[in-house]
């Protein structure tokens, strides 16, 4: 047990919060009655309580496998929680001794408890916000997957303002960090568009007690291999064999070496400005030449000072030479890597990059064992919410296999397989390392006295299961700030008293066909899946906002069952609606599908608005 040390840490935490709050004009703590039903209002905007060393714990978890993600005490049996913070971690006997008459004691029955996961680079909230999703639904999806923190890696002004307002009305239950955009992710008239958002008028929001923080600024340095974005910027031209594997290459690449959005002088100057304003910078970098330019800019602006003071970070790092990898280590630049490599396309890397370079696409994974700060990212852009699942990402890192949603597993060839990452390190890359990217490593990301009680109970111990089964692990309970925000069906024994009612669950799912942009004629099927923590009552189908009927619900979907075992009605999550397009005019229309559960709660299925063209 580390009780004494815990008291010190709680004091430090309280003291730092005061300092941060003073330096942050946005600290508009104005608690208003929560209107959302999923969250507990006291979760947010509650002052951190004074250390109550003589008070008993509010909650104790014991008789479990506690994975702390702390080198000094990697495993323990029990954890005590007081208010929003971890009070102590240690043996069953030591922790149970901290209980009192009002303590809620949870017997984990050998289950594993660990820190909540953090997604270090996603677009889930912003893209879903602009798709018209409710924040309540988005938050409930995140906590269902054990995600207690996330980083939106590209925020425009409207989204940032919306999230800050949402925090003021207590709607943000998952810690959300937003990097304000510097330039667009895509080219307009073959040029980058600089659109400095939000950070030009505001200092960063770094207060660790805020649920919405704005710690950084995001730069797009090169392309991404799509026609609107251009190509990654490489030091060598794509070889002639590129067209074998990537026939559309010339629609994407304007030059044989790809596209550079900002040259080294522009990048250095912009980074200096951002750093001087107190922000960290994050760079979209996919080519090796753009990595060099970015590393040069960072080295110049750091001017000999350690990057641990500033936390500048490079995203993707898709193609790195072995020498460049060493430079990341020397500069202590934070790197992120995809957590499930593109293994299913392994055969295309040789023709796209050529013999001398194709293996550079996995060199970034060596950073994990070289003492560099590396986070594993999901980079959700759209589509299936299952892509948020951190256990898919843990599986990807540890096995280097790829298991696409709805597809079958792809085995890595040796040049990829040799970069498999150990389970302990992979867990760090999904918890404490992402916390470090936003300077939250003293507050979240591991189980240590004084940190926020952001914890999850999971179905099995990732250090003990076969690596192939990591993808099957499930979240039983998610806690943020010491309060339960998710309790899985059948897991009530692991959830302390403040359990949100399942009647507040919101249905979710996916419309598989037709696909967005499809041209359809005659009679077609509209089909997909929907499920919930409680039973689905019906799936309503809309055309241009008008209800046109209910789908047939209850077809077997074993693929969905794999990702959501044990949900009511399993595995019959599928729906089908027969649409006679001849009853409607030719031209563009919008199809929508909404699932309604037995409590009457309604959830639009992804994509929320599916635009198709009828052509009879």
Task: Provide the binding-site residues for Zn ion, judged by CB under 5 A.
Answer: 153, 379
Least distance to Zn ion, CB of residue 344, Å? 20
For residue 123, give Cα distances in angstroms to 119, 154, 294, 357, 553: 10, 7, 22, 30, 31
Helix residue ranges per DSSP H, 101-230: 124-130, 135-144, 157-168
Least distance to Zn ion, CB of residue 301, Å? 23
DSSP symbols for 312-333 = -EEEE--S--HHHHHHHHHHT-
379 vs 512, which CB is nearer to Zn ion? 379
User: 86 and 400 in contact (C-beta within 8 Å)?
Assistant: no
Residue nearest to Zn ion (CB): 379
Least distance to Zn ion, CB of residue 123, Å? 6
Least distance to Zn ion, CB of residue 154, Å? 6
DSSP symbols for 562-596 = HHSTT-TTTT--EEEEEEEGGGS-SEEEEEEEEEE
User: 458 and 471 in contact (C-beta within 8 Å)?
Assistant: no
Least distance to Zn ion, CB of residue 156, Å? 14
311 vs 538, which CB is nearer to Zn ion? 311
10 Å CB burial of residue 550 (0-12, 13-18, 19+) is: middle
What are the E-state strand segments in 144-249?
147-155, 175-181, 212-220
Assign 488 to helix, strand or coil: coil
Least distance to Zn ion, CB of residue 256, Å? 25
Assign 105 to helix, strand or coil: strand
117 vs 577, which CB is nearer to Zn ion? 117
Indicate if the alpha-carbon torsion angle 61, 62, 67, 70 is positive or negative: positive
For residue 286, give Cα distances in angstroms to 216, 219, 230, 246, 337: 20, 12, 11, 17, 11
382 vs 522, which CB is nearer to Zn ion? 382
Least distance to Zn ion, CB of residue 297, Å? 20
- Nearest CA-CA partner of 553 in 567, 535, 572: 572
13 vs 286, which CB is nearer to Zn ion? 286
User: 541 and 503 in contact (C-beta within 8 Å)?
Assistant: no
382 vs 407, which CB is nearer to Zn ion? 382
Give the list of residues 6+ apart from residue 311 with CB closer than 8 angstroms, or none: 215, 216, 280, 334, 436, 437, 438, 439
46 vs 156, which CB is nearer to Zn ion? 156
Least distance to Zn ion, CB of residue 208, Å? 24
For residue 309, give Cα distances in angstroms to 315, 431, 492, 527: 19, 20, 43, 51
336 vs 481, which CB is nearer to Zn ion? 336
Give the list of residues 6+ apart from residue 343 with CB closer than 8 angstroms, or none: 400, 401, 402, 410, 411, 412, 416
Least distance to Zn ion, CB of residue 218, Å? 9
According to DSSP, residue 95 is labeled H
318 vs 478, which CB is nearer to Zn ion? 318
38 vs 199, which CB is nearer to Zn ion? 199
- Nearest CA-CA partner of 86 in 567, 402, 501, 443: 443
Least distance to Zn ion, CB of residue 66, Å? 33
Least distance to Zn ion, CB of residue 121, Å? 6
215 vs 482, which CB is nearer to Zn ion? 215
**β-strands 374-377, 334-338: how paired?**
parallel
Indicate if the alpha-carbon torsion angle 68, 70, 74, 77 is positive or negative: negative
Phi, psi of 40, deg, nearest 5: -95, 120
Least distance to Zn ion, CB of residue 226, Å? 13
144 vs 154, which CB is nearer to Zn ion? 154
């Amino acid at each position: 047990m580390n009780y004494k040390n815990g008291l010190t840490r709680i004091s430090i935490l309280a003291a730092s919060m005061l300092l941060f709050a003073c330096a942050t004009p946005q600290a508009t703590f104005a608690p208003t009655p929560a209107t959302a039903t999923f969250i507990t209002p006291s979760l947010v905007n509650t002052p951190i309580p004074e250390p109550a060393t003589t008070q008993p714990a509010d909650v104790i978890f014991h008789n479990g496998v506690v994975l702390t993600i702390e080198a000094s005490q990697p495993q323990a049996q029990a954890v005590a929680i007081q208010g929003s913070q971890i009070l102590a971690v240690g043996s069953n006997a030591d922790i149970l001794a901290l209980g009192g008459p009002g303590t809620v004691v949870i017997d984990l029955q050998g289950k594993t408890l660990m820190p909540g996961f953090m997604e270090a680079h996603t677009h889930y909230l912003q893209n879903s916000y602009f798709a018209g999703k409710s924040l309540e639904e988005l938050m409930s999806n995140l906590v269902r997957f054990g995600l207690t923190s996330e980083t939106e890696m590209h925020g425009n002004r409207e989204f940032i303002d919306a999230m800050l307002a949402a925090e003021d009305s207590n709607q943000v239950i998952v810690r959300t960090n937003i990097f304000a955009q510097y330039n667009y992710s895509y080219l307009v008239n073959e040029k980058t568009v600089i659109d400095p958002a939000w950070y030009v008028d505001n200092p960063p929001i770094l207060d660790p007690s805020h649920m919405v923080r704005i710690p950084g600024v995001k730069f797009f340095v090169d392309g991404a291999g799509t026609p609107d974005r251009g190509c990654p910027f490489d030091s060598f031209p794509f070889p002639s064999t590129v067209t074998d594997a990537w026939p559309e290459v010339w629609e994407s690449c304007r030059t044989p070496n790809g596209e550079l959005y900002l040259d080294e002088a522009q990048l250095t100057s912009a980074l200096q400005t951002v750093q001087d304003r107190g922000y960290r910078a994050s760079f979209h970098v996919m080519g090796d030449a753009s990595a060099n330019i970015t590393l040069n800019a960072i080295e110049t602006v750091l001017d000999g000072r350690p990057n641990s003071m500033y936390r500048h970070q490079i995203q993707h790092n898709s193609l790195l030479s072995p020498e460049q990898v060493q430079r990341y280590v020397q500069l202590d630049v934070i790197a992120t890597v995809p957590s499930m490599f593109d293994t299913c396309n392994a055969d295309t890397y040789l023709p796209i990059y050529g013999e001398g370079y194709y293996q550079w696409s996995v060199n970034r994974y060596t950073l994990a064992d070289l003492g560099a700060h590396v986070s594993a990212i999901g980079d959700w852009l759209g589509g299936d919410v299952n892509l948020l699942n951190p256990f898919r990402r843990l599986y990807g890192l540890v096995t280097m296999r790829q298991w696409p949603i709805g597809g079958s597993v792809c085995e890595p060839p040796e040049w990829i397989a040799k970069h498999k990452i150990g389970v302990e390190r992979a867990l760090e890359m999904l918890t404490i390392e992402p916390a470090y990217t936003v300077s939250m490593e003293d507050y979240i990301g591991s189980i240590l006295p004084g940190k926020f009680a952001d914890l999850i109970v999971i179905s099995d111990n990732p250090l003990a299961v076969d690596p192939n089964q990591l993808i099957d692990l499930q979240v039983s309970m998610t806690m943020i700030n010491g309060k339960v925000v998710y309790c899985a069906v059948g897991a009530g024994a692991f959830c302390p008293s403040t359990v949100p009612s399942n009647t507040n669950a919101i249905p979710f799912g996916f419309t598989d066909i037709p696909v967005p942009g499809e041209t359809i004629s005659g009679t077609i099927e509209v089909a997909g899946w929907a499920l919930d923590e409680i039973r689905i009552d019906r799936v309503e189908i809309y055309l241009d906002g008008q209800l046109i009927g209910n789908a047939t619900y209850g077809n077997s979907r074993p693929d969905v069952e794999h990702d959501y075992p044990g949900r009511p009605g399993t595995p019959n999550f599928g729906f089908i609606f027969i649409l006679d397009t001849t009853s409607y005019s030719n031209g563009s229309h919008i199809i929508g599908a909404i699932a309604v559960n037995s409590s009457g709660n309604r959830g639009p299925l992804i994509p929320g608005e599916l635009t198709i063209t009828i052509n009879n």
